[in-house]
Amino acid sequence: MEENIGVIQNVIIENRKKLNISGVKDVTSFDEETILVDTALGKMTIKGEDLRIESFDTATGDLSAVGKVYAVVYMTDARVSGGFLSRLFR
């Protein structure tokens, strides 16, 4: 497992309506229900309703989004590469 020594990332959710994330490398895709980003600590999925990216500073890696936030999930390599069936048929 890769260790990210010295990497600091903040995820701040204010009243489930505003989201601030530091350490964002790239925004992979986004729509009103899902925002997918690559961060210093791995891939992240933000789920919600009426999501909108207010700002993304590529120099600092700061992302700000608004909308109703339901979930923020870090994706691991194991989860990305296979699901339930791939684990079942090992």
Q: What DSSP assignment string belongs to 9-73?
A: --EEEETTTEEEESSEEEEEEE-SSEEEEEETTEEEEEEEEEEEEEEEETTTTEEEEEEEEEEEE
**Structure confidence at residue 63 (pLDDT):** 97
Average pLDDT of the residues of the chain: 86
- Answer yes or no: is pLDDT of 9 > 60: yes
What is the reported pLDDT for 31?
96
Q: What is the mean pLDDT of residues 19-38?
A: 96
Domain positions in the chain are 11-88
**pLDDT tens per residue across span 40-71:** 999 999 999 999 999 999 999 999 999 999 99
Confidence label for 1 from pLDDT (cuts 50, 70 and 90) = very low
Structural domain 11-88, CATH architecture? Sandwich (2.60)
